[in-house]
Amino acid sequence: MNDRRVFEGSYLGQRARLAEGVRLECKICWWVYDPAVGDPVWQVDPGTPFSALPTHWRCPQCDGEADQFMVLAAE
């Protein structure tokens, strides 16, 4: 049995599972990555999906790893 804990909205680090326009929220500090906005701190252009972020990208607010983000429900 796999004892790994899964939180609601987790993409389990599998970026290929993410839709291009999906917004994700850091589960540590609640900062939201919105592809329409990008990330000016990391110089990520607007229109960049989460799945296309560089592997070294981290939360610009708390420095959490990308796999600490969870998918936000569509509005």
In single-letter form, the type of residue at position 69 comes to F
Q: How far apart are CA 14 and CA 46, in angstroms?
A: 22
Q: How far apart are CA 21 and CA 19, in angstroms?
A: 6
Q: How far apart are CA 43 and CA 4, in angstroms?
A: 33
| First-to-final CA distance of the chain | 35
Give the CATH number for residue 37.
2.20.28.10
Per the structure, the count of domains in the chain is 1
pTM (2 d.p.): 0.84
Residue range 26-68, pLDDT digits in tens: 999 999 999 999 999 999 999 999 999 999 999 999 999 999 9
pLDDT of residue 47: 98
Q: How confident is the model at residue 75 (pLDDT cuts 50, 70, 90)?
A: low
What domain range includes position 65?
1-75
38-53: burial string, b at 16+ Cβ within 10 Å, e else: bbeeeebeeebebeeb
